[in-house]
Structure 1
Amino acid sequence: MDSTPITINYVPDGDDWTITVDAGPESTTAHAPGLIAARDSADQIVEKILTGKKQRTVVHLLEGDAFAFTTAYLTARHGMTTSYSAGPAEAGAPDSAPTEAGTDPEEPASAAG
């Protein structure tokens, strides 16, 4: 039994995407206009590869990162916008800038010593 997953790597190319489907000895490259179309194209390629074969695991990667692909795909699918450069610490940061000590009426001012 072959337990090697089929990997699909998506690489942005302007507004288009390059898709590389790697199924062990078989590898296919395609291009699509947009991430949703790229995912659909990748699914069609996988169906051709698996014709008559037992189903295997398929892993979708955005430039080698499965989490990044999932985030980008769900964002595109649901029409949301996001910045992919924000790290985990930035993602949870508050919208307003912090205040200096002593300028917030509810925060006690510290004595200079």
Structure 2
Amino acid sequence: MATGHITANYLPDGNDWSVTVTSGTESQSARAPGLIAARDKADQLIEQLAPNPAGRVVIHLLDGDGFAFSTAYLQARHGLSDEATHAAAQSAAAAADKGQNSHATR
């Protein structure tokens, strides 16, 4: 059974996406021509870092934000353009920042 968790952090990189998968002190990175392809690459990197799927927990993040990743990934899966995916990611990140700031001022 795996201990801890694995993170897959995605970043827009020009027209491509970069993904860095980290498990403990080990880390591997790759680039892909879209968010869905980057997600597939992440799965491959995860298999290399933690080949046993039993108990494996993977957290997918877009520039450190799970909500932003979920929003952008769902946009991409529904066939929206990369521009729409990037816009959704930016919007989700802005909403998350706004939510964090409103909690800080309370």
Q: TM-score, normalised by structure 1?
A: 0.68
- The gaps in structure 1 that reach 5 residues or longer are 89-113
The alignment of Structure 1 onto Structure 2 pairs a total of residues equal to: 88
Secondary structure, aligned partner of 2:56: coil
Going from structure 1 to structure 2, the CA distance change for 1:55 and 1:49 (only over 3 Å counts) comes to: farther
Q: Which residue does the alignment assign to 1:38?
A: 38
Structure 1 residues 11-44: Cα deviation after superposition (integer angstroms, max 9, x where no partner): 1011101111000021001111110100000001
> Residues 11 and 63 of structure 2 are in contact (CA less than 8 Å); yes or no, is this contact kept in structure 1?
yes
Deviating beyond 6 angstroms after TM superposition, the runs of 4 or more aligned structure 1 residues are none
Which of the two has higher C-alpha Rg? 1
Structure 1 residues 44-103: Cα deviation after superposition (integer angstroms, max 9, x where no partner): 111122224644100000000001001000100111336334465xxxxxxxxxxxxxxx
Comparing both chains, which one has the higher relative contact order based on Cα–Cα distances under 8 Å and sequence gaps of 6 or more?
Answer: 2
Going from structure 1 to structure 2, the CA distance change for 1:68 and 1:52 (only over 3 Å counts) comes to: closer
Q: Which residue does the alignment assign to 2:101?
A: none
CA root-mean-square deviation: 2.0
How many angstroms apart in 2 are the aligned matches of 1:8 and 1:74? 16
Letter in 1 for 2:50: L
Identity between Structure 1 and Structure 2 (%): 55
